Structure 1
Amino acid sequence: MPRTLRLLKWFNFILDVLALNASLWISYGVFSAKKNIQLFQVLPYLLIINFGWLFVQSFFKIYDNYQHRNSVSIFSRTIKSFLLFSLCLFLVFMLSIQNSFFRVIHSTHLYFYLGAWGMFAYLLLLNRIVLLSIRKTIRQSIHYSKKNIVIVGQNSSSRTLSNLFGANVVSDYNIMGIFHDQQEKLDESALYRGSTTDCIPFIRNNRVDEIFCTLPGVSKENVNILMHEADRNLTRFRLVPDYQEYFPGTISIEMIDNIPVMTGRKEPLEDIRNAAFKRCFDILFSLFVIVFVLSWLIPLLGLLIKIDSPGPVFFRQRRSGRSNQPFYCLKFRSMTVNAQADAQQATKGDARITRLGAFLRKTSLDELPQFFNVLVGNMSVVGPRPHMLRHTEEYAMLIDKFMVRHFLKPGITGWAQVTGLRGETRTTGDMARRVEADVYYLEHWSILLDMKIIFLTVWNIFKGDEKAI
């Protein structure tokens, strides 16, 4: 049975490739073959699309460790892979319409790509649901053989492991015993088998697949003995450091040469693949807004701003960016020209706000020029809102973890803004709650969270946000 689970990832890969090519061939038959377009004309593009999917799936490693990864992680990686693949498909589409040899498709090439894209999305989702159901059935089968493990040592890590493996009915692990040298026993007394040295005859007389040895709590001498004994009995040996004393939350581990280095905060965007994906999304999204919205909105609002009050159309202000590096943040000017613009935060009923400016701020239209900041790389579509330099200096002295938010690029909108924390910060507590939301976003980033924030931002614009100033 474990071998069957390991083979599932290959079944998954093969089914995905079949789903992609079935989508392409069906779309070709529906939209292209009837227009007398020869197969050899589209074949190069079909091959490019296939190689695109192979690149994307290897980039996100969506099939790696498939038998152990939870369903949320599998769906998350699949969605990110599909979105990046959609970008590849768009680039192939742009290439095809620029190629005079391919222009014979003319009115049908768009339908060909859209049809293949939609059908592949459906089949990809169906594959995941079916294969996850198969995996669950295999795990729950009475014939499914779990890995037999023992846990050595007693500390917070050993307790976490025993609770994790013991509570999860579909876990791949079966705890055969717990060994430690402390007098008091674990709550799971039925699992206690004796001291650390008692583990050696136990693994000799029983089929034990893996030893989880938690540190500290086991002497170096006993660790070496257990490692030697594990090798002799064809048992895999795992060392589990007790990091929870220093890092109570989630941690991130990276290897520097052969040295494991722990960080007390998980930052998904430190992964170059995630960062590259977010940057590609920022470029495409900002280009879309600039070309289809700002291209006609800037002249219109520029004229109205000039009529409403004297001064420039845009307001440029130095704000704190990633790594606390200052940059010029762009906005439509919503205030009369004043000397306090770079020092005094806008408040409700602020006399400096113009009549048109009040509308722009209420609808968040004043923030739209920041898509130029996104395009050049100063900002992201989603991230912590940038603050004035003076406010950064002040709040850094007052609020714990305030500077942590500067590990990210600032955003046009963010998790704080869609969870009721936008607008004027009247107290230090208001800013502390906003910082807490920003740190949450830093530690839990995903493309799905970005999509959710963008959706809620647009929803709030149409619904109206009473905290908008």
Structure 2
Amino acid sequence: MINRHTTFFKALNLIIDYLLLNLSLIVTYYILNKTNIFSAENRRFLPIVLIFNLIWLLSANISRLYFAVLNKDSILTFRNVFRTYFLFVSFICFTILILIGSEAYFVTRQYLFYSLAFFGFLLGCWKVIFLLIRKAERAALMDTRKAVIVGAGRTGYDLHEYLLKNWDTGYRVVGFFDDDATKVRESKMYLGDTNECITWVKEHKVTEMFCTLPVSESKKIEKLMLDADKNMVRFKLVPEYYDYGNKPTYIQSFGQIPVISARIEPLEHLLNRMIKRSFDVIFSLFVIVFVFSWLFPILAFLIKAGSKGPVFFVQTRTGRNNAPFKCYKFRSMYVNNNADKVQATRNDSRVTKLGAFMRRTSLDELPQFFNVMIGNMSVVGPRPHMLNHTEEYSELIDMFMVRHFLKPGITGWAQIKGFRGETKTVEAMKQRVEADLWYLENWSFLLDLKIVFLTVRDSLLGNENAF
């Protein structure tokens, strides 16, 4: 089935893409300079080759180029290829022409143009060839296997419907086994009771068996498992736990005991936390040294000149594990008694003229990079809420407190998806929470980079929900 081949073809696509990229770099260099790129006198050029390769990896990850390579339709495939190539060219031009300079490594604009164009041509040709091969050999790639489902209850039929709708799983269900024949909706799909199962699958050369019997039938399940092993039939147990949620779960084994987690949390791994913390410290230092250091005296003067009160607004907010912390911002409102109770609204009379500009461009959040350095915030994460809001919404939204498994962030997935600003309804807050939970379960370093990039873009262009 496709799932069995996906990893291979994903790796194949990645390897060939890299071969074409490096081929275009080598051939273009030889044509323009009549010399081998790997010769001793050209060793200063080799870091550029490394940069090209790393930037292609970054671009492909951002666009998810190698995701579902076997069942993504042709139009979507080429759209992803074009998006990846556009990101790649943009990053290359920004990195080489602006950041490190082309002269340091003897890179000419002519070489960049021809090598990128040649790579784009080769990449396009290869993707056309791959799609033609995929179309011609789709039946072979499917590797369809016959399977039976033991247990015709709701779990069994939910599984059957899923396999029917998701053809790329490669399973073809031939029927059900159940001790109660009336549970099977179509008589032709009823194959017999559970005692007849092993004999039937042996005679009909069925290689896979899904058991959806309830836990109360543990003795039958154990016997089916042992008989399946003896007769070389792959036995797959479908637990009833899926009833408690509508999303994928994470299963660990503690010895022979399976433990099902309600959600996957990448940041529970120490290495991932170290990567995120390192990025937080490095990025925050960069902002504090190169942006905050010169912008602070300007904004401090304008804030003091515009209205009476302190430069900074300090508010207690809810942090990781529901622990309160002091959150720092540039003051964007006139001093008032409701700052710790009432959210800012559109055209809020409490907001100063300078404050409106700072909130629209997110400049009022700059002091929070010191929160990041202290360690009670992250650059990217769920936005921290006022204590009274945490108490209020935790009673109204079931999973609200789950977002506090993470450190709060200066920006987050919810913010770039448009869920920022005033939350007038519980439904609006629920959407924000759902976005925060998605980030919790799907964190990656590249996702953080994407969120930071989009946040900077929105700050420069302005955001209609920032007020």
- Output the CA distance in 1 between the equivalents of 2:106 and 2:32: 9
The CA deviation string for residues 270-328 of structure 1, in whole angstroms up to 9 with x for no partner, is 56676666667656765665566545433332322232234443333332122223333
Confirm whether residue 25 of structure 1 aligns to residue 26 of structure 2: yes
- The answer as to 2:316 corresponding to 1:318 is yes
Deviates more, 1:24-33 or 1:364-373: 24-33
TM-score for the superposition, normalised by structure 1: 0.72
CA distance in 2 between partners of 1:145 and 1:349 (Å): 61
Distance 1:327 1:193, change over 3 A: same
Counterpart of 2:262 in structure 1 is 264
CA distance in 2, matches of 1:283, 1:118: 38
Deviations 1:14-44 (A, max 9, x none): 3144134325435755888889984662487
Q: Which residue of 2 aligns with 1:213?
A: 211
Query: What SS does structure 2 have at the residue aligned with 1:227?
Result: helix
Q: Cα–Cα, structure 1 residues 160 and 398, in superposed 2: closer, same or farther, change >3 Å?
A: closer
Structure 1 residue 408 displacement after superposition = 2.5
Cα distance, 1:242 vs. partner?
A: 1.8
* 2:188 is equivalent to residue 186 of structure 1: no
* Distance in 2 between residues matched to 1:368 and 1:408, nearest whole Å: 20
What is the aligned length?
Answer: 456
Match of 1:41 in 2: 43
1:281 and 1:70 map into 2 onto residues whose CA distance is 33
* Pair 1:380–1:162, CA change in 2 (3 A): same
Separation of aligned partners in 2, 1:387 and 1:450: 23
Aligned pairs for 1:289-438 within 5 A: 293-337=291-335, 341-347=339-345, 352-374=350-372, 377-417=375-415, 421-425=419-423, 431-432=429-430, 434-438=432-436
Cα pair 1:282 1:381 within 8 Å, conserved: yes
Once the two structures are superposed, the pairs formed by residues 230-269 of structure 1 within 5 Å of their partners are: 230-267=228-265, 269=267
AA at the equivalent of 2:9: L
1:438 Cα shift?
Answer: 3.4
**Letter matched to residue 147 of structure 1:** R
364-373 or 188-197: bigger deviation: 364-373
After superposition, the Cα gap between the structure-2 partners of 1:431 and 1:69, relative to the gap in structure 1 and judged at 3 Å, is: same
1:65-104 mapped onto 2 (5 Å cutoff): none
| Distance apart, 1:207 and its partner CA | 1.8
Equivalences for 1:46-195 in 2 at 5 Å? 105-106=104-105, 108=107, 131=130, 134-135=133-134, 137-140=136-139, 145-195=143-193
Choose 199-208 or 220-229, whichever is displaced more.
Answer: 220-229
How far, CA to CA, are the matches of 2:119 and 2:275 in structure 1?
A: 20
- Tell me how far apart the structure 1 counterparts of residues 270 and 15 of structure 2 sit (CA, whole Å): 27
Aligned AA (2:43)? Q
Secondary structure at 1:323 match in 2: helix
- Whichever residue aligns with residue 164 of structure 1, its letter is Y
Which stretch shifts more, 293-302 or 117-126?
117-126
1:187-237 Cα offsets, whole Å, 9 max, x none, are 354332111112122122122222222242783443343333333433222
Rate the CA distance shift 1:293–1:117 in 2: closer, same or farther, 3 A: farther
1:11 aligned residue: 12
Gaps of at least 5 residues in structure 2 are: none
CA distance in structure 2 between the aligned counterparts of 1:324 and 1:18, rounded to whole angstroms: 49
SS at match of 1:253: strand
Shift of 1:386: 0.7
Which amino acid in the other structure matches residue 379 of structure 1?
M
Change (3 A) 1:458 1:131: same
Confirm or deny: 8 A CA contact 1:418 1:453 kept in the other structure: no
Determine what percentage of the aligned residue pairs are the same residue: 43
| Residue 366 of structure 1, CA deviation | 1.6
Contact residue 314 and residue 328 of structure 2 kept, 8 A: yes
SS at match of 1:424: coil
Change (3 A) 1:10 1:366: closer
Structure 2 CA distance, aligned partners of 1:4 and 1:339?
63
1:180: Cα distance to partner?
A: 1.6
Contact 2:14 2:66 in 1 (8 A): no
Bigger mean CA offset, 346-355 vs 446-455: 446-455
Deviation by residue 1:374-410 (Cα, 9 ceiling, x = unmatched): 4665434443221123432344345432212212332
The runs of 5 or more residues in structure 1 that have no matched partner are none
Counterparts of 1:275 and 1:127 in 2: how far apart (Å)? 38
Paired residue type of 1:261: V
- Name which of 207, 225, 228 aligns with 2:226: 228
Q: Quick one: distance in 1 between partners of 2:415 and 2:56?
A: 37
TM-score by length of 2: 0.72
* Aligned-partner residue type, residue 16 of structure 2: L
User: Over the residues paired in the alignment, what is the CA RMSD in angstroms?
Assistant: 5.4
Matched-pair contact (CA < 8 Å) for 2:266–2:272? yes
Is the alpha carbon distance of 1:309 and 1:441 closer, same or farther for their aligned partners in structure 2, counting shifts above 3 Å?
same
* CA-CA distance at 1:186 after TM superposition: 2.7
Measure the CA separation in 2 of the matches of 1:266 and 1:121. 37
Aligned equivalents of 1:403 and 1:347: distance in 2? 24
Cα pair distance change 1:138/1:6, threshold 3 Å: farther
Q: Deviations over 1:108-160 (max 9, x none)?
A: 3999899989987997798677646644542335x964222222122333222
After alignment, is 232-241 or 430-439 more displaced?
430-439
Cα pair distance change 1:358/1:262, threshold 3 Å: same
Structure 1 residues 159-168 or 333-342, which shifts more? 333-342
Q: Distance in 2 between matches of 1:279 and 1:130?
A: 43
Quote the offset at 1:332 in angstroms. Answer: 1.6
SS of 1:250's equivalent in the other structure is coil
In the aligned structure 1, how far is the partner of 2:6 from the partner of 2:43? 41
- Give the deviation of 1:340 after TM superposition: 5.3
Q: CA deviation at 1:363?
A: 3.8
Alignment check: 8 A CA contact 1:150 1:178 kept: yes
